[in-house]
Structure 1
Amino acid sequence: MPKKLERRDANIEQAAETAPPPDWDDIRLFVTAAEARSLRKAAERLRMSSSTIVRRIDKLEYALQARLFDRLPDGVELTPAGLAILQHAKRMESSSFELQRAVQARDTNPTGLVRVSITEGLGTYWVAPRLVELQRTNPKLVIELKCAMESADVLRMEADIAVQFTRPTNPDLKVTKLGRLHVYPFASKEYIATYGMPRSREDILNHRLIDQYAPQLEEGVAARFLGIRNPEGIVGMRTNASTAHYHAVEKGAGIGGLATYAAVLSDDLVAIDVGFHHHVDIWMTYHPDVRQSTRVSIMIDWLKETFSPQRFPWFRDEFIHPRELRKLPADSWKINLVNTQPTIFDTDEP
């Protein structure tokens, strides 16, 4: 064993009689670090500095009088003591979340905070503009909208509700399909005026693409369609952000795959018909216990209505071309999402 670790273990043993009881927040931090197998990744997930993570892990090891991690060049690895403690820590964490959900379920007032995690593009361009209407009828609700491509863990109460592209498999979660997101290539009118309209898959190879890479997005979709191993030669811009991706296409930087409802968001976008169409399903998930909370239940019902395929045809399973979506009367989709939706007292769903 390295001398540094020997000294560290010796210090822990010498502190046995004076160590304070472990802090619960430090234990939860330990669980996150153990699952991430990296103190840096744990710091990113918890939005803390790496130095804070290290300091608090050291503090927990001092309190438990045990070394929990071996530090490796590419992360951390649990020691035998850490592995044994992790099982107890996870049970403590699970009991803590059950306690919090039990308290939340007793809340029958339509007031307070509701935390919603949602993919960036859907949250920014579809949900956020419509929240104004919900808040007008529920002025005491506070909606915390986390728009990110990383999925939130609702079992660990990182959010009350999550809207995501990957379907959860944990049987303890309630999972509802909200709709389907259809992706189609678009370019701006300015781009087409400058570089011309591609008419085939082969034509695309002579244009510039805007590429997005992020969690929950399938990799290599464009390359497979184009029949090439790597699109590096034709990618003009790559981004992890849906907002940057959308605006780059809208401002004429290149051709990019956007949700088909982009056709009704901007008249400057033109659909590119080269035989490409991709889709991904939209899932809403939450713990069944939070359905008993009035404020969370209001949000669940509102999200279902906001993504209703019957009212918003671009969320249907069947593909509808963007030019057909543009033919829809504005009143058919620019409608008040609150006044016509059922309340939690009008639905039979558990």
Structure 2
Amino acid sequence: MDWDKLRIFHAVADAGSLTHAGDTLHLSQSAVSRQIRALEESLNTTLFHRHARGLILTEQGELLFDATRSMSKRLDAAAARIRDSEEEVFGELRVTTTVGFGTLWLAPRLPQLYNKYPDLKIDLILEERVIDLPMREADVAIRMKEPSQADLIRKRLMSVRMQLYASRQYLEVSGTPQSLEGLGTHRLISQNAQSAQVSAGALLVREIMSHDVGSFLTVNNYFGVLQGVLHDLGIGLLPDYLAEDFPQLVRVLPEVESNEVPVFLAYPEELRHSKRIAAFRDFVTEEIFAHRRKRREQSA
């Protein structure tokens, strides 16, 4: 099968338009159209339904697009590995992690990485769902559980526990509960037990909600929970790594916490020698060490 025709087909399927694909490929619309017709003739099938609003893939076209998309990702991976053979760290690095960890821990620390590697381009993908690393939906992931996908290199970074926190001003006004039963006069801010989150956090939410809590505010990510706590709205269930960066948080009911949540860094085996991956891995590891050291100093 002619790779050049497949490349053009992939661009058309991705853009949904001959004109837009031609702009991307620097070809005329008629040249793109001829290549698509020739590909359809060679396969003896129709790849697109043609409508006034654009092109829609047929069932056969969808099958071919799945194949070309996979080929494109493999070619991107090969190109990345070739670029990584250079001495300098540069180019795009797609990093995925959860919304909470990405916004509250990782993003604030990225200036140190950019200061060291100014030519690195981070594409930060914040999602609760597990992104497929072997299929190159991202290059590297930080996950709140050990990855189960095959062909991944994984490194345990640290452990996190969910704990209860409030602002000093809130506690001065509303008082500090001495037990879970004392939450009857307070507002609990947390993720909903059914929302996407680490299982240890969901279990602790259910346990706390089984007591007589005065009021609730549920948010679908920890960034929202933190904002509620910082604005004196109630007592929030938050990951313990926030205590370092937000000294205005006061821990409430120290005996109440979730089980440990392991935090792993993972990336595909094929990127083992990637200098971009190594730079990011070393940066995160150094920040974790600094985080641990600061927590030990605070508790001393």
Is the structural similarity TM-score above 0.5? Answer: yes
Which structure's residues are more often helix, by fraction?
A: 2
| Corresponding position of 2:37 | none
Q: Which one of the candidate residues 160, 178, 192 is aligned to 1:181?
A: 160
Tell me which residue corresponds to 1:273.
253
Matched, 1:222 2:205: yes
Does structure 1 conserve the Cα–Cα contact (< 8 Å) formed by 2:204 and 2:257? no
d(CA) in 1 for partners of 2:188, 2:293: 24
Kindly report the root-mean-square deviation, in angstroms, between the aligned alpha carbons of the 2 structures.
3.3
The worse-fitting range, judged by mean Cα deviation, of 180-189 and 213-222 is 213-222
Paired amino acid for 1:294: K
Structure 1 distance, partners of 2:139, 2:299, is 37
Aligned twin of 1:47: none
Map of 1:60 onto structure 2: 57
Aligned pairs for 1:57-136 (under 5 A) are 59-61=56-58, 64=60, 85=63, 93-107=69-83, 108=86, 109-136=88-115
2-structure distance, mates of 1:200, 1:131: 39
CA displacement at 1:24 relative to structure 2: 3.2
Structure 1 residues 164-173 or 219-228, which shifts more? Answer: 219-228
Structure-2 change in CA distance of 1:203 and 1:175 (3 Å): same
User: CA 1:151/1:222 → structure 2, altered by over 3 Å: closer, same or farther?
Assistant: same
Please give the alpha-carbon distance, in whole angstroms, between the structure 1 residues aligned to 2:66 and 2:167. 50
Give the unaligned 5+ runs of structure 2. 16-50
Question: What amino acid is aligned across from residue 257 of structure 1 in structure 2?
Answer: L
- Equivalent AA in structure 1 for residue 229 of structure 2: V
Tell me the secondary structure at the aligned position of residue 256 of structure 2: coil
Structure 1 CA distance for aligned equivalents of residues 162 and 148 of structure 2: 24
The question of whether the paired residues in 2 share the 8 Å contact of 1:188 and 1:268 is answered with yes
Alpha-carbon offset, residue 249 of structure 1: 0.9
Residue 313 of structure 1 deviates from its aligned partner by 2.5
Q: How many angstroms does 1:246 deviate by?
A: 0.7
1:261 to 192, 216, 241: 241
Query: 2:143 aligned with 1:203, yes or no?
Result: no
Distance 1:160 1:125 in 2: 21
Which residue of the partner structure matches residue 222 of structure 2? 242
Q: Are the counterparts in 1 of residues 176 and 252 from structure 2 also a CA contact under 8 Å?
A: yes
Residue 172 to residue 28, structure 1, CA distance change in 2 (3 Å): farther
- Report what 2:267 is aligned to: 286
> CA offsets per residue over residues 91-131 of structure 1, 9 Å max, x none?
65444433321221111241111111122222222222222
Q: Equivalent residue for 1:17?
A: none
Amino-acid identity (%): 25
**Partner residue, 1:342:** none
The 3 A distance-change label for structure 1 pair 105 and 277 is same
Distance (whole Å) between structure 2 residues aligned to residue 261 and residue 221 of structure 1: 17
Match of 2:10? 24
1:161 Cα deviation from its structure 2 partner: 0.8
Aligned-partner Cα distance in 2 for 1:227–1:126: 30
Query: Closer, same or farther in 2 for the Cα pair 1:180/1:247, shift >3 Å?
Result: same
Q: Distance in 2 between matches of 1:166 and 1:212?
A: 18
State the shift of 1:209 in Å.
0.2
Higher normalized strand content (fraction of residues):
2
| 8 Å CA contact retained: 1:165, 1:283 | yes
How far off is 1:138 after superposition? Answer: 1.2
Gaps of 5+ in 1: 1-19, 30-54, 69-84, 316-321, 329-350
Number of paired residues?
Answer: 251
Shift, 1:28, TM fit: 8.2
